[in-house]
Amino acid sequence: MKPIVADPDLVACCGLYCGACRSYLVGRCPGCRANDRARWCKVRTCCIGHGCSTCAACAEFADPMVCGKFNNFISKVFAFVFRSDRAACIEQIRRVGLQGHAEDMAAKRRQSIKR
């Protein structure tokens, strides 16, 4: 298993931290940004299409919860089951940057800020 390290390249477009994900740590997934099989993810597709590394850089929506791609049924189920707050992750990225977010998530050994 890989160690959890602070790597801004492991911050997913939606703000989750892949560097603390079990699938990433055991080598089953390269992380959301590097995973070409993740074409199903509308958030990833949107960010790549707009040249943004994450939703924090979105010029269209100041609040990601207003975006139908970011805040959809699947994301609501995910947030409920895992008590995850991706919008808080995006807000943290805006405040402290990708590196700061990666450092915080790695230190907490979490993929997301908890609700």
Alpha-carbon gap, residue 38 to 75, rounded angstroms: 15
pTM for the whole thing? 0.92
Please say if the pLDDT value at position 78 is more than 90: no
> 3-state SS of 57-80?
HCCCCCCHHHCCCCCCHHHHHHHH
Average pLDDT of the chain to the nearest whole number: 94
> What digits encode the pLDDT tens for the residues 36-60?
898 889 999 999 999 999 999 999 9
- pLDDT surpassing 90 at residue 107: yes
Mean pLDDT value across residues 83-107: 97
Alpha helices in 26-113 (DSSP H): 42-50, 73-82, 86-108
Give residue-wise pLDDT tens across range 11-42: 999 999 999 999 999 999 999 989 989 888 99
